[in-house]
Chains A and B, each alone.
Chain A
Amino acid sequence: MSGAADREAVFPTRQSLGLMKAKLKGAETGHSLLKRKSEALTKRFREITRRIDEAKRKMGRVMQIASLSLAEVTYAVGGNIGFQIQESARSARFRIRAKQENVSGVLLPTFESYLTEGNNDFAMTGLGKGGQQVQRCRETYARAVEALVELASLQTAFVILDEVIKVVNRRVNAIEHVIIPRTENTIKYINSELDELDREEFYRLKKVANKKQQDVAAQDAEIKRLKLEQEARGKKQAVADEPETSAGPAELLEAEGDEDVIF
C-alpha cells in the first residue's frame, strides 16, 4: 500500500499513539482556523479588487479634469510655467502617512494624506497673471492626488493580501493533503502494530496458561498416583498390620482352628 509508506517514523507505542492523536486533533483545529482565515481574507480581497477597479476608472476621470485645469493655467499665464515650478519646489506640502489596519492577523497599510502647514513653494507662481487659475489648478490637483493616494493604499493592500492569501492557502492545502493523511496513517500503523502485539501477547499467555494447565495436570496425576500408591501401600500395610494387631484373637482362633485341625 502506498499510504502505508507515508507515515512518520515513530515507534508503535501507546505513548506515541497518544502524541499522534493529539497532533491529529491539533492539525484539524488548525486546518479549520486557517480555512476560515483564508475565507475572511479572500472576501476582503475581492472587495478590494472591486474597489481598485472602480478607483482606477475614477482616477482616469479625475486626472483628465486636472489636466484640463492645467491647460487653463498655461493659457492664462500665457506661457509654460513647468520650468518655474520645477525649480521652485523645495519641500513637500502634501505628504502621506502610513497607517495599519488589521484584517484577521494581517497588517494592511493604508496611506493617509495630510498637508503640512506653513510652507508654500509656489507663492510667486502666477503672480503676474493667472493667479486664480493657478490656485484652482492646485486645488484640482490636490484632489486628484488624494484619489491617487487612496488608490495606492488599495493597491498596496491588494499586493499584500495576494501574497498572504497564497501563503495561507498553501498551508491549508499542506495540512489537508499532507499532514492529516500522514498522521492518520501513522495512527493506523500504530494501532495495527499494537493489535499485533496484543495478539502475540494473548497467544503467549494462552500458551503459558496451557503449559501451566498441563503442568498442574501432570502434578495432579503425580499426586494422585502417589496417593494411590500410598493408599495401596497403606492398605497393604493395613493388611499386613491387621494380623499383627489382632494377632491375639486371630492366633487364638487360628490356634483353636489349628487345634481343631489337629484334632
Chain B
Amino acid sequence: MSSHADNKDRQFLAVIGDEDSVTGLLLAGIGHVTPPPDSQKNFLVVDSKTDTATIEEAFQRFTTERKDIGIVLINQHIADRIRHRVDTYTAAFPALLEIPSKDHPYDPEKDSVLRRVRRLFGE
C-alpha cells in the first residue's frame, strides 16, 4: 500500500501551542525548519492575539499538506478554538494529540479521542 510507504517519511512532530508549551517542546529538540527556498516551521505559537484563521491554516498545513509530520500536538485550549476541525479530523496519519498547557489544566471530557473511547464503552 502506498500510504504505508508514505508513513516511513513521517519523522517530525508539529506543535500548535502557547508560548510556554512550544518553548518547552522546542527545548526537547523537536523544532525543525525546512531549508531556505520555502522555509517552513513545524511549530506555531498562539497567543490571545492570534486569530482563529491562522490556527486553522496551520492545522490544515500540518495535517494535510505536509507529508513529513507524524504527530501533531495541539494545546487543548487552542483545540477548543478550532473544535469543529479537531472533532472532524479522523485520519490516522498524522496522529493528533491534545496536550494540556500550563494555564489550562487537562480536561479529559473535551478530548476528541477520549470522547470516542467513552462513547464506545457507552459511558
Q: Quick check: B4 and A100 within 8 Å, CB to CB?
A: yes
How far, in whole Å, are A107 and B97 apart by their CA atoms in the complex? Answer: 21
Residues 30-57 of B at the A interface (beta carbon under 8 Å): 30-33, 41-43, 45
Of A52, A111, A137, the contact of B71 (CB 8 Å cutoff): A111
Q: Quick check: B93 and A156 within 8 Å, CB to CB?
A: yes
How many chain A residues touch B (Cβ–Cβ < 8 Å)? 55
Smallest beta-carbon distance A6→chain B, Å: 33
Q: Quick check: B106 and A60 within 8 Å, CB to CB?
A: yes
Q: Quick check: A92 and B120 within 8 Å, CB to CB?
A: no
B85 within 8 A of A: no
Chain B interface category by residue count: 35 or more
A169 within 8 A of B: no
Q: Quick check: B24 and A91 within 8 Å, CB to CB?
A: no
Q: Quick check: B7 and A49 within 8 Å, CB to CB?
A: no
Residues 56-76 of A at the B interface (beta carbon under 8 Å): 56-57, 59-60, 63-64, 66-67, 70-71
Q: Quick check: B28 and A94 within 8 Å, CB to CB?
A: yes
A98 within 8 A of B: yes
| A→B interface (CB under 8 Å) | 49, 52-53, 56-57, 59-60, 63-64, 66-67, 70-71, 80-82, 85-86, 89-98, 100, 107, 109, 111, 115, 121-122, 125, 134, 137-138, 141-142, 144-145, 148-149, 151-153, 155-156, 158-160, 162-163
**Apart from A63-B99, A70-B23, A86-B43, what 16 extra A-B contacts exist at CB < 8 Å?**
A49-B120, A53-B114, A57-B108, A63-B106, A67-B101, A71-B102, A80-B19, A89-B26, A92-B13, A94-B13, A109-B92, A109-B93, A134-B27, A138-B27, A138-B29, A158-B117
